[in-house]
């Protein structure tokens, strides 16, 4: 991993060295239910400032549920979620969104009838439109495709463009912690590469903390400082990205054919 | 005829490449046959009063023939259009979409044009009819239409922008009307004081409705709002001490020119301005009053759309969960939508009361809600111009058809348009559903355009079908 100028070196050992410092996001014993069905069976997870943490797992493992639970919908029935030292377990979703956490949820959820520009305006709702132009320029530099299509309706964009828009919209609120749910879903390998390099850039250049949920385990683990593996509502494994990549169990379950 | 194009394009499905003209002809003949079948009992025979008391049956074969021919021709034309669309090479089609001008300035121009016509309408009518009292019918009709334009624009905030299907909008209309009626008859308050009060009261009731339905969407929301509208009406009927029950409230004070009454005596509007008294002064004043209120509604809506709250309404319509995770307080957003929409309903209601001088629960039935909703839906949800046009069509259309003389020229002297008023109206509605199922103006107008706008093709801005 390279050292980038004045930016602090962020490597695999960082998390361990920082063990004494409180993590930016901490999830402790969280249980989430859909009605009577339990989706998260007591999850523990930490994300430290400046890290990229990835969460991998099979379909239906509960990855998206964990991400949404951190955001307060659905609510954790048991356990504790703290962010920047504050207990956010019972805080309403829209308040959490104002604590400089942003997410690009599963399925993108952009506003299809609104233009790209308006979608980005919605992303900036949190900070009331101050420094909007500046942020607009910034995300358009990250995704030049968006600048070309500022007045196109969100719903008429291609899947990859919509994904870029979803990430850009999340970035408009200048988050400290960015949570992305399967940003590579359904995208061509080239676009996936592009999106992952943007994530890396955000992390290394701006020091943004990233929590990444991914199916594309190989790329995600390569990118991440640390990773978690989730199986049916519980975390079964954790370690640095490289450790998980080299783990035979992970290789057997998640990396079959994923190496390219 | 167009088949070769389609072949060269090489992308069109073989089924559409060659149009089946035999089938088209057969279809058109079938339609004509159905028309003939329908016309025989309905149109063919006409009973005329003979010389004495006896009735004469007069066959109208020519008319039946013209109906049948018209249907046949229309059906065939339809097929020609379909065939052309099917046969058009794909490349050409794309190019055509690109040249379609951006809908934005067009819709705005239309709205301005509507405003201009509405402003000068009494003058135009005056000039055409050649007198104040002669134009009374038209100005009255104008007032009626504008009332619905305003109600449509008000409901448009709730249904069109925020996407909350409200079937009980008439409740706020009623709240506004009764607010003015009761406040003015009980406390002698003037219209100009009651108007804002009615708006506030209606907004308050809008919030009251909003709270219990916050978690509901779509069908469920529609049912609850429908019930809410009925509850308000039933309370008004049954709480006789408060509202006068089914008998309603009469002798509601008339509108004044900011305190100056429209009366014939000294100190009235006419003598104050040195005019000869005419009851039309009041009517024209009412016309401009509702016009002002309607413009206020349109103006506030246009402004709000550009503000964060209006944007949040539209985003809420699209995706509630996404809204919440972007930090939007969806509870407040919904409540403000309900309250704002209700407030304009309340304004319109108190206008209704001051115009009629008499109100009763009869005027606030579900049918009213349905008509207002139909106006919003036909207009194309969220479009101001569309709603205005739909209000004209829905309210003035049936009235105007009553007076259409030129149809006589087409169908012969014996043709009475009155008989066909609803038939034509119904045909219009069916046509709407076929060709513009998303409403007259379904294109949503973006709220923000940067100055350094780049040249982008129409296809980018054109909305997908969904
Ligand atoms: N709204 C819901 N109601 C009921 N059950 C749900 C709901 N959402 C998710 N579930 C269930 O909870 C479990 C976890 O779902 P979740 O969406 O979190 O999985 P995931 O790990 O994100 O999977 P994928 O990789 O396919 O996106 C699944 O069994 C799913 O069926
Ligand atoms: Mg998921």
Q: What is the mean pLDDT for each group of 10 consecutive residues in chain A (260 residues)?
A: 37 47 91 94 94 93 94 92 93 92 90 92 85 91 90 89 92 93 88 90 93 91 94 93 91 69
The tokens for B366 are 């579900």
Mutate to test the pocket of ligand 1, among A60, A184, A228, A234 (most ligand atoms within 8 A of CB): A60
Ligand 1, CB cutoff 6 Å, lining residues: A 34, 37, 39, 57, 59-65, 106, 215
DSSP code for A156: G
pLDDT, residue B105, reads 67
Residue B102: helix, strand or coil by DSSP?
A: coil
Q: How confident is the model at residue B419 (pLDDT cuts 50, 70, 90)?
A: low
Interchain proximity A125–B308, CB inside 8 Å:
yes
List the residue whose alpha carbon is closest to atom 7 of ligand 1.
Answer: A34
pLDDT digits (tens, 9 = 90+) for B290-346: 999 999 999 999 899 889 999 999 999 888 889 998 999 999 999 999 999 999 999
Task: Tell me the two tokens of residue A72.
Answer: 């307060």
Please judge whether B327 and A94 are an interchain contact, meaning their C-beta atoms are less than 8 angstroms apart: yes
Closest CA to B140 of B153, B119, B125, B120: B125
Residue B256's pLDDT is what? 82
DSSP result, B36-85:
HHHHHHHTSEEEEE-SSS-EEEEE-HHHHHHHHHHHHHHHHHHHHHHHHH
Residue of A nearest to B310 (CA): A122
Residue A18 contacts B, CB cutoff 8 Å: no
Tabulate helix, strand, coil % of chain B (nearest 5). Answer: 70, 5, 25
pLDDT per residue as tens digits for the range B34-85: 988 888 888 788 777 767 777 777 778 888 888 888 888 888 888 888 877 7
pLDDT for residue A102:
93
Bond into A74 cis (ω within 30)? yes
Under the banding of pLDDT at 50, 70 and 90, the label for residue B384 is confident
Distance between CA B359 and CA B181 in Å, rounded?
A: 8
Segment among A247-251, B21-25, B175-179, B198-202 with least mean pLDDT:
B21-25
The number of the ligand 1 atom at minimal distance from the alpha carbon of A215 is: 25
User: Is A159's Cβ below 8 Å from some Cβ in B?
Assistant: no
* Number of A–B residue contacts, CB under 8 Å: 106
Q: What is the pLDDT of residue A23?
A: 92
The pair of three-digit structure tokens given for residue B400, joined into one six-digit string: 């105007």
Instruction: Look at residue B328 in the predicted model and tell me its pLDDT.
Output: 92
Return residue ranges of chain A for CATH 3.40.50.300: 2-100+179-255
Q: Calculate mean pLDDT across residues B100-104.
A: 43
A2-100+179-255 has CATH 1.20.200.10 classification? no
Segment holding A29, helix H or strand E: strand A25-34
Closest CA relative to residue B91, chosen from B158, B167, B3, B5 = B5
Only one residue has tokens 């949820």, namely: A105
User: What is d(CA B386, CA B401) in angstroms, rounded to the nearest whole number?
Assistant: 21
Q: Distances from the Cα of B245 to the Cαs of A103, B178, B237, B357, B361, in angstroms?
A: 55, 12, 4, 16, 8
Nearest ligand, measured from the Cα of B321: 1
How far away is chain B from the Cα of A93, in angstroms, using its nearest Cα?
6
Residue B418 is predicted with a pLDDT of: 58
> What contacts B194, CB < 8 A, 6 or more positions away?
B179, B180, B183, B184, B350
Q: Which residues pair with A86 in a beta bridge?
A: A83
CA B52 to chain centre: 48
Question: Could you report how far apart the first and last alpha carbons of chain B are, in Å?
Answer: 32
For chain A, say whether B332 makes contact (Cβ under 8 Å).
no
Q: Is B254 on the interface with A (CB under 8 A)?
A: no
Per-residue pLDDT band for B289 (boundaries 50, 70, 90) equals very high
H-run or E-run covering A33: strand A25-34
Given a cut of 80, is residue B251 above it in pLDDT? yes
Minimal Cβ distance to B463: which of A93, A111, A113: A113
Closest Cα in chain A, distance from residue B390 (Å):
22
Between these two residues, B450 and B349, which has the higher pLDDT value?
B349
**Alpha-carbon torsion (B311, B316, B319, B325), positive or negative:** positive
Measure the CA–CA gap between A136 and A14, rounded to whole angstroms.
Answer: 32
- Contact call for B446 and A115, based on CB within 8 A: yes
The pLDDT value recorded for residue B420 is: 63
- Most confidently modeled range among B84-88, B101-105, B128-132, B203-207: B203-207
Which candidate, A71, A201, A175, places its Cα nearest to that of A123? A175
Q: How confident is the model at residue B408 (pLDDT cuts 50, 70, 90)?
A: low
Place of tokens 């709250």: B309
Residues from chain A that touch B444, judged by Cβ atoms under 8 A, are 113-114, 153
For B110-251+293-400, which CATH class?
mainly alpha
Q: Please say if the pLDDT value at position B110 is more than 70.
A: yes
3-class DSSP state for residue A92? coil
Asked if B356 is an interface residue toward chain A (Cβ–Cβ < 8 A), one would say: no
Contacting residues of B for A126, CB less than 8 Å apart: 326-327
What is the token pair recorded at B208? Answer: 């009251």
pLDDT for B380: 81
Q: Considering only CB atoms, which chain B residues are within 8 Å of A112?
A: 318, 464, 466
Tokens describing residue B279: 């009851």
Determine the pLDDT at residue B266.
78
* Mutation target vs A (from B103, B306, B322; most A CBs, 10 A cutoff): B322
CATH 1.10.3470 domain residues, chain B: 110-251+293-400
Residue B327 burial by CB count (10 A; 0-12/13-18/19+): exposed, middle or buried?
buried
Long-range contacts of B236-241 (CB under 8 A, 24+ apart): B236/B174, B236/B178, B236/B361, B236/B364, B237/B361
Q: What is the pLDDT of residue B1?
A: 39
- Across B411-419, average pLDDT: 63
Q: Which of A241, A250, A247 is nearest to A219 (CA)?
A: A241
Residue B242 pLDDT exceeds 90: no
Distance of CA B70 from the midpoint of ligand 1 (Å)? 58
What atom in ligand 1 is closest to the CA of residue A65?
18
What is the β-pairing status of strands B45-49 and A234-240?
Answer: unpaired
pLDDT at B413: 66
> Residue B389, Cα to own-chain centre: how many angstroms?
6
Please list every residue in chain B whose beta carbon sits closer than 8 Å to the beta carbon of residue A168: none
**Joined tokens for residue B11:** 């992308």
Query: For residue B278, what pLDDT band results from cuts at 50, 70 and 90?
Result: confident
Q: Dihedral, CA atoms, B234, B236, B241, B243, nearest 10 degrees? A: -170
Non-local (6+) Cβ contacts of A82 within 8 A are A25, A26, A28, A88, A89
What pLDDT, on the 0 to 100 scale, is given for residue A20? 56
Residue that wins the pLDDT comparison between B287 and B133: B287
Please report residues of A whose CB lies closer than 8 A to that of B466. 112, 155
Q: What is the ipTM of this complex?
A: 0.83
Closest CA–CA distance from residue A136 to any residue of chain B (Å): 12
Find chain A residues with C-beta within 8 A of B311's C-beta. 114, 118, 121-122, 125
Q: Which of B208-217, B323-332, B349-358, B369-378 has the lowest mean pLDDT?
A: B208-217
Residue A181 to residue A166: CA distance in whole angstroms: 10
Three-state DSSP at A210 gives: strand
d(CA A80, CA B54): 93
Q: Which residues have CB under 8 Å from B76's CB, separation 6+?
A: B24, B25, B28
Convert B377-410 to b/e letters by CB count within 10 Å (16 or more is b): bbbbbbbbbbbbbbbbbbbbbeeebeeeeeeeee
- A141-150, B163-172, B275-284: which range is least confident on average? B275-284
pLDDT of B453 strictly over 80? no
Segment B123-151 shows an average pLDDT of 87
Which residue out of A108, A153, A163 would a mutagenesis test of the B interface target, given it has the greatest number of B Cβ atoms within 10 Å? A153
Pairing between β-strand B55-59 and β-strand A177-181 as defined by DSSP bridges: unpaired
In angstroms, rounded to a whole number, what is the distance separating the alpha carbons of residues B191 and B196? 9
């Amino acid at each position: 991993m390279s050292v980038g100028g004045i930016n602090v070196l962020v490597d695999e050992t960082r998390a361990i060295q920082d063990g004494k410092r409180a993590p930016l996001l901490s999830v402790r014993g969280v249980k989430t239910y859909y009605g009577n069905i339990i989706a998260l069976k007591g999850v523990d997870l930490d994300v430290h400032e400046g890290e990229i943490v990835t969460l991998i797992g099979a379909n239906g493992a509960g990855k998206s549920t964990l991400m949404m639970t951190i955001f307060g919908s659905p609510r954790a029935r048991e356990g504790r979620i703290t962010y920047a030292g504050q207990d956010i377990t019972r805080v309403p979703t829209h308040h959490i969104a104002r604590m400089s956490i942003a997410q690009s949820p599963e399925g993108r959820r952009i506003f299809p009838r609104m233009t790209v520009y308006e979608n980005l305006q919605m992303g900036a709702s949190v900070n009331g439109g101050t420094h909007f132009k500046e942020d607009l320029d910034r995300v358009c530099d990250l995704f030049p495709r968006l600048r070309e299509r500022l007045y196109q309706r969100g719903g008429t964009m291609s899947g990859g463009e919509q994904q870029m828009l979803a990430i850009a919209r999340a970035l408009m609120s200048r988050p400290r912690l960015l949570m992305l749910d399967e940003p590579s879903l359904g995208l061509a390998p080239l676009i996936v590469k592009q999106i992952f390099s943007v994530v890396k850039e955000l992390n290394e250049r701006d020091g943004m903390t990233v929590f990444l949920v991914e199916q594309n385990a190989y790329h995600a683990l390569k990118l991440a400082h640390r990773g978690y593996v989730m199986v049916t509502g519980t975390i079964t494994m954790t370690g640095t990205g490289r450790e998980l990549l080299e783990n035979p169990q992970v290789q057997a379950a998640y990396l079959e054919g994923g190496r390219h | 005829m167009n088949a070769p194009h389609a072949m060269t394009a090489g992308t069109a499905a073989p089924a559409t490449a060659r149009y089946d003209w035999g089938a088209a002809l057969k279809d058109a003949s079938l339609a004509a046959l159905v028309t003939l079948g329908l016309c025989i009992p309905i149109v063919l025979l006409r009973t005329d009063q003979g010389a004495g008391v006896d009735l004469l049956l007069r066959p109208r074969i020519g008319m039946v023939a013209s109906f049948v021919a018209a249907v046949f021709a229309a059906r065939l034309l339809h097929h020609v259009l379909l065939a052309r669309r099917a046969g058009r090479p794909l490349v050409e089609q794309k190019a055509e979409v690109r040249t379609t001008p951006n809908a934005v300035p067009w819709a705005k121009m239309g709205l301005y044009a509507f405003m201009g016509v509405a402003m000068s309408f009494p003058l135009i009518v005056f000039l055409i009819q050649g007198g104040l009292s002669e134009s009374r019918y038209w100005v009255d009709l104008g007032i009626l239409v504008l009332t619905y334009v305003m109600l449509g624009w008000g409901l448009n905030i709730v249904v069109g922008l925020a996407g909350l299907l409200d079937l009980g909008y008439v409740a706020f209309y009623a709240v506004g009307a009764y607010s003015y009626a009761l406040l003015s008859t009980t406390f002698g308050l003037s219209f100009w004081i009651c108007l804002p009060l009615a708006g506030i009261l209606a907004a308050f009731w809008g919030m009251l409705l909003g709270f219990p339905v916050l978690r509901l969407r779509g069908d469920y929301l529609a049912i609850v709002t429908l019930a809410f509208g009925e509850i308000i009406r039933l309370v008004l009927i049954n709480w006789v001490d408060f509202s006068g029950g089914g008998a309603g409230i009469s002798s509601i004070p008339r509108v004044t020119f900011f305190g100056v009454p429209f009366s014939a005596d000294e100190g009235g509007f006419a003598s104050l301005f040195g005019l000869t008294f005419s009851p039309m002064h009041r009517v024209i004043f009412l016309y401009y009053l509702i016009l002002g209120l309607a413009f206020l509604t349109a103006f506030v809506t246009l402004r709000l759309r550009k503000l964060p709250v209006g944007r949040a309404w539209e985003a809420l319509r699209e995706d509630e969960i996404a809204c919440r995770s972007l930090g939007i307080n969806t509870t407040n957003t919904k409540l403000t939508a309900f309250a704002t929409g209700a407030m304009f309903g309340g304004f319109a209601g108190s206008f209704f009361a001051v115009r009629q001088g008499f109100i009763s629960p009869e005027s606030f039935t579900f049918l009213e809600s349905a008509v207002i909703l139909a106006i919003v839906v036909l207009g194309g949800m969220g479009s101001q111009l569309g709603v205005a046009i739909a209000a004209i069509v829905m309210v003035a259309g049936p009235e105007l058809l009553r007076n259409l003389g030129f149809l006589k020229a087409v169908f012969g002297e014996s043709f009475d348009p009155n008989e066909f008023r609803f038939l034509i109206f119904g045909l219009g509605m069916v046509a709407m559903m076929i060709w513009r199922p998303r409403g007259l103006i379904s294109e949503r107008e973006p709220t923000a355009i940067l100055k350094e706008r780049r040249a982008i093709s129409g296809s980018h801005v054109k909305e997908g079908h969904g």
